[in-house]
Copies of this chain bind each other. A is one copy, B any other.
Amino acid sequence: MRVVLPDGRVEDMRSVFWDDGVVMIDQRLLPGEFRLFRAESVEDVAFAIKDMVVRGAPAIGAAAAYGLALAAVKGEDLEGAARTLGNTRPTAHDLFFALRVVRERIESGRDPVSAAEEYAESVVEKSRLIGVHGEPLVEDGSRILTHCNAGALATLDWGTALAPIRMAHRKGKEIFVFVDETRPKLQGARLTAWELLNEGIPHAVIADNAAGFYMWKGEISMVIVGADRIASNGDFANKIGTYEKAVVAKEHGIPFYVAAPISTFDFSLGSGREIPIEMRNEDEVHFFAGSRITPEGSRALNPAFDVTPAEYVTAYITEFGIFHRSELEKLKRMAH
């Protein structure tokens, strides 16, 4: 991804990469501060996933892949490392997929780092292909709503939801992006806006509450979001708030696309009701930039994801092309 560094230099950089250890753009600090986080142990990587130094299902998967390589390089037990890395965040399916794939490769004698690099390359290539397939859906003049950050930060490069947007802009299409700020952790305001700004794509950040208003005003022509896990019937989990946007989009006949690599599909689940939803610490709601916003004594509830039933999805944009809900069986066969 194109990163404009604090000193004005422009670099092409991935959100997670190997450099004698696992290096990540520290997403907790953006956009105010650009700093790299270096993980020297499996525990560091697990901490980085849990504390959201790195976030986004595909990037979490790549971080776990590199974490497993780190364990192997250090001669540590892969079983234990996989357990430590797997016990970080429960919703994203890519995490478990990455651990299984990379562990098999390492256990079959592959060089651990190149096994992880190959996984990371595949993540990037899938995102690029999502961009290639999704770009034609983004018409000249599109006014696109996106929620959370399904960008290069979340997928090492290109993004899922942001890949078609990025490519449409690079092709010279005039587009405008409404960026849901995405409470409570503000991944939209902090990360998606940062990526769009680096790329020079016109955009405005809005309170999550304002998305419905702009749909009602007729100012949003399409919605593209990522996904953390997709059940075999097409129901999908994504950042909390996605469900509301999907329901309102359908009410207005606005196309609603889910961009995700096939690794996000969990064909073992019949429906979205089976996807485990992570409840995060209520302090993420109580405190904002170090200040308490709720009264002492009030409680908060903080689900990190919600489930959007497949009936609200116009189509899924994957590395193998665009699939409608009725075609998910075909996708399942391709995944095997």
A: residues with CB less than 8 A from B are: 30-32, 178-179, 181-184, 186, 189-190, 193-194, 196-197, 203-214, 216, 239-241, 243-245, 247-248, 251, 277, 285-286, 288-303, 306-307
Contact = CB atoms under 8 A, between A and B. Distances in A.
A3 to B, nearest CB: 12
B244 A206 contact: no
A69 B302 CA distance: 46
Nearest to A293: B189
Contact of A181 (B183, B186, B289): B183
Contacts of A186: 288, 293
A120 to B, nearest CB: 26
Given A181-B285, A244-B244, A290-B289, A210 B301 contact: yes
A84 to B, nearest CB: 29
11 contacts: A31-B294, A183-B208, A184-B207, A193-B294, A197-B295, A204-B301, A205-B294, A206-B302, A212-B306, A216-B243, A216-B307
Nearest to A190: B293
A241 B206 CA distance: 11
A298 B205 contact: yes
Nearest to A32: B292
The copy count of this chain in the complex is 2
Given A182-B209, A183-B208, 12 more contacts: A32-B291, A181-B294, A190-B295, A193-B295, A203-B298, A205-B299, A205-B301, A207-B240, A210-B301, A212-B244, A214-B301, A288-B289
B240 A209 contact: yes
A8 to B, nearest CB: 13
A209 B207 contact: no
A240 B211 CA distance: 9
A209 B244 contact: yes
Contact of A210 (B30, B31, B210, B306): B306
Contacts of A213: 240, 243, 277, 303, 306-307
Contacts of A182: 209
A181 B301 contact: no
A263 B206 CA distance: 31
A230 to B, nearest CB: 16
A294 B207 CA distance: 12
A31 B293 CA distance: 7
A245 B208 CA distance: 12
A207 B244 contact: no
A239 B137 CA distance: 33
Nearest to A297: B197
Contact of A294 (B189, B208, B247): B189
A251 B244 CA distance: 10
Q: Which among A207, A288, A292, A296 has the highest number of chain B CB atoms within 10 Å?
A: A207
B285 A211 contact: no
